[in-house]
């Protein structure tokens, strides 16, 4: 058995990967046992925004930055009402935060929401395994008497399933404004998407993910926003059917992350799972129209396969500088553009926030 890591005086915890690798560390947060998809995030700050990003539902997050929790928890910075990851993995957890805005410690936050985690392991080694072998499932447990031959089949059988239904809002909400009326489809939307539109004067109506296209179109929005969210986009079959109707409506549409993938699927293209995804606040993307490069915030494990695009329907608009994967599409003959990254970027760079202004101009032209 391959055991890596260090232990302290606190309760032992183990991270077991489906390839049989075992990391030994100390338990943080809840002590319950979980099986999840193990992913890594390269952000240096913004751990609270990461924890409260609904796109992490069904996953356990390894933070590559070695010290997490040093500035505590400030609830105003949350991207949703609660944290969503199944588990949390860090090198060192700061248990005594130092920040005038801090309202709580990250340890208490994890305990409050029953999220288990592990600290004290070599997160660099874990990240290298995920980069070399690809994202894999794992278990976080405090049971020292685990049996690998019993656990590994369970890990290989795990899937995140239909997580969009878990994270979407339960009822329609309205942020009143005097400007353009935007219908925001909540597939697991970060708060800052609605905030970015509302700050620009828009009246934003947030709809649950399974809302019909007919209901949205009946309220005659000036524009439609398709949000980010968790999981495999192909699990959202009924949502894709509604997006097809929105596509045909000729109302301006702006889509982010999962919304970008769903629009591609709705118009005949395909998506595929990435080896280990893009998660962090430091990913360079190139605007293919003018060659300018922006630093972006990202969180996704799937991508649009550009080889399956019909050039009469959509063409690539943005490209990842590191690995040349697709980062956005422009739709031909439609007021529709979609991006894989997060222009609302909280935490992260504000380079691409101008895309919200582009969306506003599209709505002004069609009003």
Q: Give per-residue pLDDT as tens, 330-353.
A: 999 999 999 999 998 666 667 778
Is 231 within any annotated ligand binding site?
A: yes
Report in angstroms the alpha-carbon separations of 54 from 152, 166, 227, 353.
Answer: 27, 9, 11, 20
Chain centroid to Cα 103, Å, comes to 25
Handedness of CA 207, 209, 213, 215 (dihedral sign): negative
Model confidence at 3, pLDDT cuts 50, 70, 90, reads very low
Burial class of residue 311 in the structure, from the number of CB atoms within 10 Å of its CB (0-12 exposed, 13-18 middle, 19+ buried): exposed
Q: Look at residue 353 in the predicted model and tell me its pLDDT.
A: 82
Residue pLDDT, tens place only, 47-68: 999 999 999 999 999 999 999 9
Is 258 within any annotated ligand binding site?
A: yes
Q: Is 257 a catalytic residue?
A: yes
Whether 89 and 118 have beta carbons less than 8 Å apart is answered as yes
Is 145 within any annotated ligand binding site?
A: no
Is 302 within any annotated ligand binding site?
A: yes
Is 301 within any annotated ligand binding site?
A: yes
Helix/strand/coil for 326: strand
Q: Which of 59-68, 157-166, 268-277, 339-348 has the lowest mean pLDDT?
A: 339-348
Neighbours of 124 (CB within 10 A): 13
Residue pLDDT, tens place only, 66-97: 999 999 999 999 999 999 999 999 999 998 99
* Domains with residue ranges and CATH for the chain: 2-157 (3.50.30.20), 164-366 (3.40.50.880)
Residue pLDDT, tens place only, 128-152: 999 999 999 999 999 999 999 999 9
Q: Is 202 a catalytic residue?
A: no
The Cα diameter of the chain in Å comes to 65
Q: What percent of the chain has pLDDT over 90?
A: 91
Over the chain, what is the mean pLDDT?
A: 94
Distance, CA of 140 to CA of 150 (rounded, Å): 15
Is 58 within any annotated ligand binding site?
A: no
Q: Look at residue 193 in the predicted model and tell me its pLDDT.
A: 95
Half-sphere exposure of 53 (CA within 13 A, CB side): 31
pTM, whole model, 2 decimals?
A: 0.94
Is 249 within any annotated ligand binding site?
A: no
Q: What percent of the chain has pLDDT over 70?
A: 96
Active-site residue, from 37, 49, 319, 344: 344
Contact partners, residue 77, CB within 8 Å, separation at least 6: 48, 49, 346
Reading the block at residue 184, the tokens are 């925001």
Report in angstroms the alpha-carbon separations of 39 from 88, 121, 314, 352.
Answer: 10, 15, 30, 25
Residue 202 scores a pLDDT above 90? yes
Active-site residue, from 62, 202, 236, 257: 257
Q: Look at residue 346 in the predicted model and tell me its pLDDT.
A: 67
Q: Look at residue 4 in the predicted model and tell me its pLDDT.
A: 44
Q: Is 342 a catalytic residue?
A: yes
Neighbours of 157 (CB within 10 A): 10
């Amino acid at each position: 058995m391959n055991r890596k890591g260090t232990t302290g005086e606190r309760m032992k915890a183990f991270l077991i990967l489906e390839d049989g690798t075992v990391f030994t560390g100390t338990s943080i947060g809840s002590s319950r046992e979980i099986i999840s998809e193990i992913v890594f995030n390269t952000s240096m700050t913004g751990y609270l925004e990461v924890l409260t990003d609904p796109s992490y539902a069904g996953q356990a997050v390894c933070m590559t930055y070695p010290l997490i929790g040093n500035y505590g928890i400030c609830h105003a910075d949350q991207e949703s009402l609660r944290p969503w990851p199944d588990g949390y993995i860090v090198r060192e957890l700061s248990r005594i935060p130092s920040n005038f805005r801090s309202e709580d410690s990250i340890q208490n936050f994890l305990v409050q929401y029953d999220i288990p985690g592990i600290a004290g392991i070599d997160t660099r080694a874990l990240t290298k395994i995920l980069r070399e072998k690809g994202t894999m499932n794992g278990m976080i447990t405090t049971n020292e008497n685990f049996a690998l031959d019993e656990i590994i089949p369970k890990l290989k059988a795990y899937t995140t399933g239909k997580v969009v239904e878990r994270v979407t809002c339960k009822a329609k909400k309205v942020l009143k404004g005097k400007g353009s009326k935007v219908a925001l489809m909540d597939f697991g939307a970060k708060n800052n998407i609605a905030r970015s539109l509302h700050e620009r004067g828009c009246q934003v109506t947030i709809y649950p993910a399974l809302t019909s296209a007919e209901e949205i179109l009946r309220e005659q929005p000036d524009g439609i926003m398709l949000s980010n969210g968790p999981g495999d986009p192909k699990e959202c079959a009924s949502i894709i059917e509604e997006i097809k109707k929105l596509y045909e409506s000729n109302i301006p549409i702006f889509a982010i992350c999962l919304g970008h993938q769903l629009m591609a699927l709705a118009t005949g293209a395909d998506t595929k799972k990435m080896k280990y995804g893009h998660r962090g606040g430091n990913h360079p993307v190139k605007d293919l129209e003018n060659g300018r490069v922006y630093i972006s915030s990202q969180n996704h494990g799937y991508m649009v396969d550009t080889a399956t695009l019909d050039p009469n329907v959509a063409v690539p608009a943005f490209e990842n500088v590191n690995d040349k994967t697709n980062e956005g599409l422009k739709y031909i003959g439609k007021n529709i553009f979609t991006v894989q990254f997060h222009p609302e970027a909280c935490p992260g760079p504000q380079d691409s926030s101008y895309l919200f202004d582009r969306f506003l101009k599209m709505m002004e032209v069609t009003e």
